[in-house]
Structure 1
């Protein structure tokens, strides 16, 4: 049994994806709720609401009265639930898998919703295409990619290692693509090349906002999901990328991603930023702070409301100033903007009255007026940040053909290289007893690891178990873990470096986790370690180096599996030399 249900603030079901087993389970347990002659396949949102109403109401009471919502709970026969929220929407993940896995899948589902909907989560203004893409990506991720590929297990992209000459050919082709896009009027663009599921190279125009590692993983997941549906992929998709976290314009970057399947398994992704970034980012921040103040109002925390309101007022002001500078025109935009300003002026007056007297009646008036203000904010976001109709997309296939022509001579070699990118055999002489390794640069989102093959000593299940084991310890503050079973010796290392490649000594994470366990300032990520749901490693770096500017700290991981005969001392020495070897091979300045 497996499924995802999303409820809005009114407890209505806005999205559901239930497999047959879970739908039949609901049908069998609640036959009286179904119409006569109905089947499990006919389950609709109203029936789901009746089934889940006690759980969702309990969740909201826990949130409003105690600010201590359920993160998960377990039921009989191995059926588990995991809960998450985003912009007032409650996500419920259900399945017969361990809670940790459900939380990871839930985090990916929320990340996909953010990337596909932006701030317009499941709104009437959003296109039905978004819902279709969300369903497709979720199904592909949960039923195929997560169980099969290291890429989705580790949420990092395998890097295809090619020599400098081939690298120059690919980069030259991407530069030509960017130049052609510039001639077409697209000034903020990216171009990325993949072969099968491996990253080859990327290029970006000077004006474009840098992509984050989570953006790269999302684009890979999107393309892999669509490739399962279409043998020859040639499609444009509206997405909302995040950008790098330390950039003030990051968080919501409206883009068109055009995916083109070229010859020999080569995939080209063209990313075109089309909206005003100042408008999009300030409006996106407004959504989040507005949701925060709604939560505080429900909880009755008047003291915390004042600074949150100040933030809301600041972001609304930034939004209006950005809209003024952008000079966006159109009757619909003007009408929507006037309504938005009117709603905000009305709301601002109510807040001023409330902070003077702190009367409950005034808070009720505010709460009754916020939904209409939110609707106007969503409408304005739709008109200013979601309208890509003026973007010329008909020539993007020509750009793909240009790239295909420029790399045609090396395409076959790239395809062959992708099949045998890195083999563990090349490392056996220098690292006797080494069975498998995974080296991940969390700052770029790229990894280097041998492909898993059927004839390897290490099984896929063993690697999945190893990664899960290390993540449990990482959440407790352990950045180095070593253990053995009857057959193998396992080791895991996480470390930080500065911009020059010099190792950085962080705070004692274990001590920090223990000391802050009861503190509201504790590092408690809502999701499992990864990149898609939230950049866990960026958050970890900020905790470890609070005085260092975000983006100045590099984070790395190394997983190693040795034969059990290899001693721990030898495994540590191998790990140290392996990192140096990979750094030379990949050209990283470690």
Structure 2
């Protein structure tokens, strides 16, 4: 049994994806709610609401009165629930898998919603394409990719290692794509190349916002999901990327992603940023701060409301200033903007009255006026950040053909190299007893590892359980873990380097975790360690190096599996030399 249900603030079901087993379970347990002669396939939002109403209402009461919501609970027969929220929407993940796995899948689902909808979650203005893409990506990830691909397990991109001469050919082709896109009038653009799902290279214009590691993993998941039906991929999709966290305009970058399947399994992704970034980022922040003040109002926390309101006022002002500078035109935009300003002026006056008197009646008036203000904010976001109709997309396939032509001579080699990118055989002489490794640059989201093959000593089950085991210890502050079973010796290392590749000593993470258990400032991410749900490693870096400039600290992980006969001392020495070897091969310090 497996499923995802999303409720809005009014407890209406806005999205549901239930597999047959779960739908039949609901039908068997609640047959009296279904019309006569109904079947499990006829389950709709109203029936779902009746089944889940007690849980949702209890969750909201726990949130409003105690600020202590359910994160998960376990039921009989192995059926578990995990809970999450985003901008006032409640997400419930249901399945017969361990709670930790459900939380990870829930985090990925919420990340997909953010990337596919932006701030306008499940809005009526959004096309049905978003819902179709969300369903496709969720099904592909949960039923196939997560259980089959070590890249999706680790939420990182396998990097294809090619020599400098081939790299120059690839980069020249991508630069040619950018030049052609600029000729077509696009200035903020990216071009990324993959071979058999391995990252080859990318090129970015100076005006574009740099992509984050999370964006790369999302684009990989999106392309893998769309490729599963076996059709030739040539499609444009509206997405909202995140961008690098230290850029002031990060968080919501409206883009058109054009995915083109070239010859020999090569995939080209063209990204065109089309909206005003100042408008998009400030409006996106407004959504989150508005949701925070709504939560505080529900909890009756008047003291915390004032600084949150100050933040809301600041972001609204930034939004209006950005809209003024952007000079966006159109009757619909002008009308929406006037309504938004009128709603805000009214709300602003009521907040001013409330903070002077702190009367409950004024707070009730505020709460009754916020929904209409939210509606105008969503409408303004739709008109200014979701309208890509003015972008010329007809020539993007032509650009893909241009790239394909420049790479005809090496496409077949890339396809073959992607199938045999790295083999463990190449490392056996220098590292006897090593049977598998995974090296991940968490700052870029790229990984280097041998592909898993059926005839290898290591099984998928061993690697999957190893990763989950290390993540559990990482959450407790352990950055080095070693253990053995009857067959293998496992080791895991996480470390930090500066931009020149020098080691950096962080705070004692174990002491920090213990000390933060009773602190309100504890490092307690909502989801499991990874990139998609939230950049866990970026948060970890900020905790370990609070005074370091963003982007100046690089984070790495290394997983190693040795035969059980290898001693721990030898495994540590191998890991140290292996990390240095891979860094040289991958030119990590360049």
Q: Provide TM-score, normalisation by structure 1.
A: 1.00
2:43 aligned residue: 43
1:435 aligned residue: 435
1:291 aligned residue: 291
1:190 aligned residue: 190
What do residues 527-577 of structure 1 show as CA deviations (whole Å, max 9, x unaligned)?
100000100000000001111122111000000000000000000000000
2:79 aligned residue: 79
The structural deviation recorded for 1:229 is 2.4
2:40 paired with 1:62: no
The structural deviation recorded for 1:501 is 1.0
What do residues 410-429 of structure 1 show as CA deviations (whole Å, max 9, x unaligned)?
00000000000000000000
What do residues 367-396 of structure 1 show as CA deviations (whole Å, max 9, x unaligned)?
000000000000000000000000000000
2:254 aligned residue: 254
**1:292-331 → structure 2 map (5 Å cutoff):** 292-331=292-331
Q: How far, CA to CA, are the matches of 1:202 and 1:66 in structure 2? A: 48
Q: How far, CA to CA, are the matches of 1:156 and 1:478 in structure 2? A: 21
1:27 aligned residue: 27
1:369 aligned residue: 369
What do residues 425-445 of structure 1 show as CA deviations (whole Å, max 9, x unaligned)?
000000000010000000000
2:115 paired with 1:115: yes
1:349 aligned residue: 349
Q: How far, CA to CA, are the matches of 2:40 and 2:147 in structure 1? A: 27
Aligned to 2:4, the other structure's residue is in SS state strand
Q: How far, CA to CA, are the matches of 2:523 and 2:499 in structure 1? A: 24
Q: How far, CA to CA, are the matches of 2:443 and 2:5 in structure 1? A: 33
Aligned to 2:397, the other structure's residue is in SS state helix
1:280 aligned residue: 280
The structural deviation recorded for 1:196 is 1.1
Aligned to 1:216, the other structure's residue is in SS state helix
What do residues 480-512 of structure 1 show as CA deviations (whole Å, max 9, x unaligned)?
000000100000000011111111111110011
What do residues 78-105 of structure 1 show as CA deviations (whole Å, max 9, x unaligned)?
0000000000000000000000000000
Q: How far, CA to CA, are the matches of 1:587 and 1:542 in structure 2? A: 25
2:455 aligned residue: 455
Q: How far, CA to CA, are the matches of 1:231 and 1:327 in structure 2? A: 42
The structural deviation recorded for 1:125 is 1.1
1:164 aligned residue: 164
Q: How far, CA to CA, are the matches of 2:355 and 2:125 in structure 1? A: 34
Q: How far, CA to CA, are the matches of 1:43 and 1:63 in structure 2? A: 28
Q: How far, CA to CA, are the matches of 1:299 and 1:480 in structure 2? A: 41
Aligned to 2:559, the other structure's residue is in SS state strand
What do residues 172-201 of structure 1 show as CA deviations (whole Å, max 9, x unaligned)?
000000000000000000000001110000
Aligned to 1:435, the other structure's residue is in SS state strand
Q: How far, CA to CA, are the matches of 1:229 and 1:42 in structure 2? A: 26
Aligned to 1:495, the other structure's residue is in SS state strand
Aligned to 1:229, the other structure's residue is in SS state coil
Q: How far, CA to CA, are the matches of 1:7 and 1:551 in structure 2? A: 36
Q: How far, CA to CA, are the matches of 2:56 and 2:4 in structure 1? A: 14
Aligned to 1:530, the other structure's residue is in SS state coil
Q: How far, CA to CA, are the matches of 1:231 and 1:581 in structure 2? A: 39
Give the CA RMSD over aligned residues: 0.6
Q: How far, CA to CA, are the matches of 1:245 and 1:89 in structure 2? A: 24
The structural deviation recorded for 1:230 is 4.5
Aligned to 2:228, the other structure's residue is in SS state helix
Q: How far, CA to CA, are the matches of 1:165 and 1:572 in structure 2? A: 35
2:403 aligned residue: 403
Q: How far, CA to CA, are the matches of 2:540 and 2:95 in structure 1? A: 29
2:482 paired with 1:488: no
Q: How far, CA to CA, are the matches of 1:426 and 1:229 in structure 2? A: 35
2:232 aligned residue: 232
2:520 aligned residue: 520
What do residues 221-265 of structure 1 show as CA deviations (whole Å, max 9, x unaligned)?
000000112420000000000000000000000000000000000
1:579 aligned residue: 579
What do residues 454-480 of structure 1 show as CA deviations (whole Å, max 9, x unaligned)?
000000010000000000000000000
2:530 aligned residue: 530
1:209 aligned residue: 209
1:337 aligned residue: 337
Aligned to 2:270, the other structure's residue is in SS state strand
Aligned to 2:190, the other structure's residue is in SS state strand
Q: How far, CA to CA, are the matches of 1:584 and 1:497 in structure 2? A: 15
The structural deviation recorded for 1:55 is 0.5
Q: How far, CA to CA, are the matches of 2:554 and 2:453 in structure 1? A: 31
Q: How far, CA to CA, are the matches of 2:197 and 2:526 in structure 1? A: 28
Q: How far, CA to CA, are the matches of 2:589 and 2:394 in structure 1? A: 41
Extract unaligned runs of 5+ from structure 1: none
1:143 aligned residue: 143
Q: How far, CA to CA, are the matches of 2:269 and 2:516 in structure 1? A: 43
Aligned to 2:268, the other structure's residue is in SS state strand
More moved, 33-42 vs 542-551: 542-551
1:414 aligned residue: 414
Extract unaligned runs of 5+ from structure 2: none
Q: How far, CA to CA, are the matches of 1:75 and 1:401 in structure 2? A: 54
Matched pairs, number? 590
Q: How far, CA to CA, are the matches of 1:361 and 1:230 in structure 2? A: 60
2:90 aligned residue: 90
Q: How far, CA to CA, are the matches of 2:588 and 2:548 in structure 1? A: 22
1:126 aligned residue: 126
1:218 aligned residue: 218
Aligned to 2:210, the other structure's residue is in SS state coil
Q: How far, CA to CA, are the matches of 2:169 and 2:150 in structure 1? A: 28
Aligned to 2:450, the other structure's residue is in SS state coil
